[in-house]
Structure 1
């Protein structure tokens, strides 16, 4: 029985006739398969090995049970003449039947219109919006002629109600609308729905072998998606063209392909989701020769996926889900021949965050994390930030504690070569590690302030200048500008020395924009007491927000005055870009290396910043900004020290204050 989505094709195009493999039980009786018709040569190929020629260039292929023996065989419609050519076997030869039926504009279709077990011909005439159907494969006038009102598109046919007779419909590939006729007389459609995506080709067939046809699509990138009662099945193929489904053999017939195995699914144990976390356990791979895949989606967007190996059992812990958000847990069990059986196991919604929302975005500071943290460290870090209620973190791409441009990460990747008048050449391994860190942030719904390069070191020593900053910005934009975890870029950084050349940053931002990076860019100047460093570049075109470093050597009152001055001086957002870090003992303050900054002073700075009217706050802890290194009273304990500082008194106090 033909299940056809017909579309006009240019001569020479390759037309694919795609079928599906049924379950092993159904395949014992009959096997649906797939074939391909090359309209430029008239060549047919089937998946059971048949390979023959039948047709002329420009013919439209058909596949139907013309003689009622239960096997669909090839047919052709020659549009310029209105002739149909039908064969009763899938072999090379001349037509067993030639029928004149139609005019050049017609689109062919066939099905069992009267329930006698034999598929017969028909056409759809677009200019009239009318179907003309015959109840026998003989020449003559149409036995049935009717329209499907309020519908346009290409003809389809199938037994959609399981009553033993086929009805027709129209499918609009531009909108995905499928309209099925209620019978064989002029009437509005009884069923309309949207199915598929633009560019798909519609398939109709009895995939479950229960007597009722269902929909599917053939997708140009090489996949066939078939709709079942409670799941979706996917086959992958490298073939392109128009797709149909048909029974190409029955048990006992020569060349019948072995039945494919539709996989069963493992036993799943569901664990109710937390705010940003879901856990799934499974106890068996079941009968899935190709294994299975678990995935979580938000709508159609893939959030995460896991493919267990061998007899591996659960659980799967997925962190980083957004609170109060709808998700679905899906299962893909993989059989042989590329068949994948998909089931939505459960739709779920994460609960509200118990931490509550802060009144302004709050970022943590981990400038050196990209150099000294593993990807597992980064995942643990962002997981905590998400649970604690942070918005994200500021991270610096260029190491400035280690050896600068020649600095390396935990994998031994050098950040870059070049500088000092030469173009920077960013290392691919280092960049890949950075993307992994950004991926960890994204998994936990955390945003990153991407500190491009630290001005205090690289501008003052001449490594970064107006001649190479454009190239650096362009490279960073190309490598990371598309990453959804990046909230904004940060230029500058603590430059207490000479006044910077604004062309350095203007050129760098131009490079970012040329590469397609659209995120905002902030400038991070030093707020030096008695000077106006906190107002540096505030009105430059390339600055979207200003984020002063109010420093580690002054009290909250001075911080309030400086940040208030900036807020009142510009319409642009102002961030508190660097308040006193918790537990820092700055070597440059007076007296140098004094007592570590207590949590109470950190809270006082945050209160001052909030009262000044800032739009965001960047919090810092001495172990985390340098990622466990030795500076300013740091422990030199590495990632252990950085991660162990999470949940500190200062962090807890400022988050509680900003939620109140």
Structure 2
């Protein structure tokens, strides 16, 4: 199945406003850019035009793919396998009432292959919610609890799945149990960076408590992916710098990073 890929680089106090969830050196992404079953890093820098820098291995080096797509305004990068062909490709969300999604089926410059309106503001979340092989749109409204609105096609309409899950923290999604569909999760960072991050993963898109809870990393910015081509998605962290430092773990358990490297700056 396609890998789920999304990262917002959170600014302090900006949890409810994804238009400002951006690090000074860009957004960090992950995706299976070449369809080999392994998710690898990417960096998105907004501008006129926006530029994506995508790498096909979890190692230090330069981008294998550099592509421009869209530009200007308040946008948020997303990636997913929009057409079910096995590789992840680029997209953008322009926030408003409604939000507008611009999805491209290849990692090349050009116009959107799919344009769709869905929801208003909120936090974009992408996944294969029904296990059919293509990634589709979703949105999280922050609250106590958070409310997830997930749609099974990249078309306008009402949510196919609505659920409540978690509260304070950052929403994530992935195939935590390798069953072919993506489900919700949450990562909670300590504001002072003195205790480990705590990850709360749920194996169904339904309200309830976490099926898997573990601590991993301290501080950083979350990325999710199947780093070792085993079919399940696992945690990763990016520590922004000159260059950025990536720590990826191959299981949803407490422990050190299995893979570490620098990429982007």
What band does the TM-score fall into relative to the shorter chain? 0.7 to 0.9
Match of 2:155 in 1: 185
Say whether 1:235 aligns with 2:210.
no
Check whether the contact 1:76–1:84 (CA below 8 A) recurs between aligned residues.
Answer: yes
Query: Which has the higher relative contact order, 1 or 2, with Cα contacts under 8 A spaced 6 or more apart?
Result: 2
Q: 1:124 pairs with 93, 100, 108, which one?
A: 93
Name the structure 1 match of 2:6. 4
| 3-state SS of paired residue (1:107) | strand
After TM superposition, list the pairs within 5 Å mapping 1:186-335 onto structure 2.
186-198=156-168, 200-221=169-190, 222-229=197-204, 232-250=211-229
Aligned to 1:58: 25
In the alignment, what sits opposite 1:157? 126
Pair 336,153 (structure 1): closer, same or farther in 2 beyond 3 Å: closer
Go from structure 1 to structure 2 and tell me whether the alpha carbon gap of 1:177 and 1:103 turns closer, same or farther (over 3 Å shift). Answer: farther
Cα distance in 1 between the residues matched to 2:249 and 2:28: 26
User: Residues 107 and 207 (structure 1 numbering): CA distance in 2 closer, same or farther, change over 3 Å?
Assistant: same
- Give the distance between the partners of 2:173 and 2:91, measured in 1 at CA: 17
1:93 is aligned, of 42, 45, 61, to 61
What value does the CA root-mean-square deviation take over the aligned residues? 2.6
Greater helix percent: which structure?
1
Q: Is it true that 1:73 corresponds to 2:40 in the alignment?
A: yes
Partner of 1:170 in structure 2? 139
What whole-Å deviation, never above 9, does each CA across 1:84-125 have from its counterpart, x for those lacking one? 111111222221111111224210011111111011110100
Quote the Cα distance in structure 2 between the aligned partners of 1:336 and 1:155. Answer: 27
Equivalent of residue 107 in structure 2, options 123, 137, 144: 137
Q: How many residues align?
A: 213
Deviation at 1:174, TM superposition (A): 4.2
Q: Structure 2 CA distance, aligned partners of 1:132 and 1:66? A: 18
Contact 1:201/1:242 (8 A) holds in 2 = no
Call closer, same or farther: CA 1:8–1:125 in 2, change over 3 Å. farther
Q: Which blocks of at least 5 consecutive residues in structure 2 are unaligned? A: 13-22, 191-196, 231-247, 257-265
Q: Closer, same or farther in 2 for the Cα pair 1:110/1:98, shift >3 Å?
A: same
Structure whose alpha-carbon radius of gyration is higher: 1
Distance 1:225 1:141, change over 3 A: same
TM-score of the superposition, structure 2-length normalised? 0.72
Distance in 2 between residues matched to 1:250 and 1:129, nearest whole Å: 33
Match of 2:240 in 1: none
Q: Would you say the 8 A contact 1:224–1:236 is kept in 2? A: yes
Q: 1:95 to 1:129 in 2, by over 3 A?
A: same
Any conservation in 2 of the 1:7–1:154 contact (CA below 8 Å)? no
CA change 1:188–1:209 in 2 (3 A) is same
- Matches of 1:67 and 1:207, distance apart in 2: 22
SS in 1 for 2:226: strand
Structure 1 ranges of 4+ moved more than 3 A: 7-10, 257-260, 335-338
Evaluate the alpha carbon distance shift between residue 180 and residue 92 of structure 1 in structure 2; reply closer, same or farther with a 3 A threshold.
same
Compute the TM-score of the two structures, normalised by the length of structure 1: 0.30
Rounded Cα–Cα distance in structure 2 between residues aligned with 1:238 and 1:89: 22
**Aligned partners of 2:61 and 2:82: how far apart in 1?**
28
Tell me the CA shift for residue 231 of structure 1.
Answer: 5.8
Give the superposition deviation at 1:220: 1.5
Structure 1 distance, partners of 2:8, 2:140, is 10
Match of 1:148 in 2: 118
Counterpart Cα distance in 1 of 2:57 and 2:29: 13
Would the aligned equivalents of 1:204 and 1:244 in 2 still touch at CA under 8 Å? Answer: no
1:209/1:245 CA distance change after superposition, 3 Å: same
Q: Label 1:238 to 1:259 Cα distance change in 2 as closer, same or farther (>3 A).
A: closer
2:16 is aligned to none
Given that residues 122 and 131 in structure 1 are in contact (C-alpha distance below 8 angstroms), is that contact kept between their aligned partners in structure 2? yes
Aligned partner of 1:449 in structure 2 is none
